[in-house]
Amino acid sequence: MEGPKIYGEIFGFSITQTIVNTWIIMAFIFVVCYILTKNMQKKRPGNAQVIAETIVTTLDDLVGQTMGKDKMRFAPYMLALIMFLAFANIAGIIGLRSPTADLNCTVGLALMTFFMTQFFGLKSKGLGGYLKGFLEPMPFLLPINIIGEFANPVSLSFRLFGNMLGGGIIMALLYSALAGLIFFPVLIPVPFHFYFDIFSGLLQSFIFTMLSMVFISGAMD
């Protein structure tokens, strides 16, 4: 699997396969959300509405349990994050190169979490409390605490990137090996897709979101 293809340039920014696939996923999510939330009713919800409500309440419960009941305002961002990641990681099933198999994408998402952590930590503890937090529990740990803060986005981004890239490379190797054996690969790739794309993809999206929740709520307490 090579790096993402570059399709063109706009204002000095290259339009890569990652960006185009992200647009495709965004459009897909938008359509899904639109269909699920059309014609909502209070008394006799249709199937689509029930699905939408289940998704939202499940995630609300998760945010409430992990971050605390006072931090429910993060629930919309977390839902958007996990939805995007879920569909982005699974994209391998329909032949799209996952946008998350590009370090740029995962670093961008990890930086969002990082900046949210620092910003909300600063906002809820105040400048003094925030700076003092780095001297906790003992002042000589200051460099270790600083390194630890930066280690979090590094491991978040690389974990997701490595999983998706590794899965993608393995699938590419499998298909090229099968192409040598039979005319077109049938059935054999299915369990590999299930493990590398569906299982690993959903698990990693869950992990990324959960870790983001833990980091942000941890910085605010």
Partner 1 sequence: MIGDMNIIEFVFQFLSQFDPVDLIKGFSAIGIGIAMIAGVGPGIGQGFAAGKGAEAVGRNPAKMNDITMIMLLGAAVAETSGIFALVIAMILLFANPFIAAAATGSVWVLAASAVACGISMVAGIGPGAGQGYAAGKGAEAVGIKPENKGSVLRIMLLGQAVAQTTGIYALIISLILMYANPFLQAGGKDFVMAFSVLGAGIAMLAGIGPGLGQGFAAGKGAEAVGKNPTKTNDISMIMLLGAAVAETSGIFSLVVALILLFANPLIGLSGSVWILSASALASGIAMIAGIGPGTGQGFAAGKGTEMVGIRPEVKSVVLRVMLLGQAVAQTTGIYALIVALVLMYANPFL
The nearest distance, CB 186 to partner 1, in angstroms, is: 27
> Among the candidate windows 6-14, 50-58, 80-88, 203-211, which touches partner 1 by CB under 8 A?
203-211
Packing angle between helix 75-90 and helix 200-220, nearest 10 degrees?
A: 160
The nearest distance, CB 212 to partner 1, in angstroms, is: 10
Backbone torsions φ then ψ of 15, nearest 5 degrees: -95, 105
- Contact flag: residue 147 with partner 1 (CB under 8 A): yes
- Contact flag: residue 76 with partner 1 (CB under 8 A): no
**Residue 214: which of 94, 115, 113, 112 has the closest Cα?**
113
The two tokens of residue 55 are 């998704």
Q: How many CB atoms lie within 10 A of CB 100?
A: 29
Place of tokens 């998402």: 109
- Contact flag: residue 161 with partner 1 (CB under 8 A): yes
- Contact flag: residue 148 with partner 1 (CB under 8 A): yes
> Among the candidate windows 25-33, 36-44, 104-112, 135-143, which touches partner 1 by CB under 8 A?
135-143
Q: How many CB atoms lie within 10 A of CB 216?
A: 23
Amino acid making up residue 71: K
- Contact flag: residue 163 with partner 1 (CB under 8 A): yes
Note the residues at the interface with partner 1 (CB under 8 A).
2-3, 65-66, 136-138, 141, 143-145, 147-148, 151-152, 154-155, 158-159, 161-163, 165-166, 169, 203-204, 206-207, 210-211, 214-215, 217-218
